[in-house]
Amino acid sequence: MTPDYQTAAIKAAETLIRHNIRTAPVLSLPMLKNTPGVLVFSFEALAHQVEKDRRCVIDTFGDRNQDAFTTVLMRDGPPQYIVTYNQLLPHVLIQRALARELGHIVLGHDGNCPESVATDEAKCFAQHLLVPRPLIYAIQAAGIRLTVDVLKNLTGCSDRCIACMRRLPGVSVPAALNRAIRDQFMPYFLNFFEYQRNASFRDPSALADLGSFMDGYEE
């Protein structure tokens, strides 16, 4: 069984439209909380709920799930999901992890498909959610050089997230979906591009040397 990257990319685009996302960085946590049938807890909050130590709760998820984990409760009717996440991680890692877990939910992963396939599909979903392709096309159409720094500033994603994005297989999202996302984001695009042309990097020394930033700092 091979991952269905096409569906993952399309579902990510549909999710951006359904939640009316208009600016970046795309925040995964509010979307999860606004998804029917989903409860979201930090590791600390879940530990408090079950009256266990935080370390005990984390250990139950295993070494591969130290950022976020989704539990599926199968009952009569639609499945219910409990998403737990490590709120002590850096913000960019939390957003990426929660975008992946949202992918599992939106794609209907309930344990019936191989774990490796579900993981690859959820990661593909997360990349297309956090770095929508219309943003990349808009950068290129505006004549702005597409660099890692530009993409990081526009999306709030980390270097690793962007590197993972470049390794994704090519997929085709229907043009109507791409246009809808572009229209939602257009005011954000235009404001960012205006900044990029007129203000960004006007003073190269601002980024060139941070050596004296911590001078005089003492614990």
Q: Give the residue ranges of DSSP H helices in 90-174.
A: 91-106, 115-130, 133-141, 148-155, 159-166
Residue 203, in any domain of the structure? no
**pTM of whole model > 0.85?**
no
d(CA 138, CA 134): 6
CB 158 within 8 A of CB 92: yes
pLDDT tens-digit series, residues 50-104: 666 666 666 665 555 578 888 888 777 778 898 989 888 888 889 989 999 999 9
pLDDT tens-digit series, residues 125-181: 998 999 888 888 888 888 877 788 888 888 888 777 777 777 777 788 899 999 999
pLDDT at residue number 208 = 53
Which residue, among 180, 197, 184, has the nearest Cα to 143 in the 3D structure? 197
pLDDT at residue number 145 = 79
**How many folded domains does the chain comprise?**
1
Residue 213, in any domain of the structure? no
The rounded mean pLDDT for the chain is: 82
Residue 217, in any domain of the structure? no
Domain residue limits at 171: 5-198
Residue 212, in any domain of the structure? no
What residues contact 136, with CB distance under 8 A and at least 6 apart?
146, 151
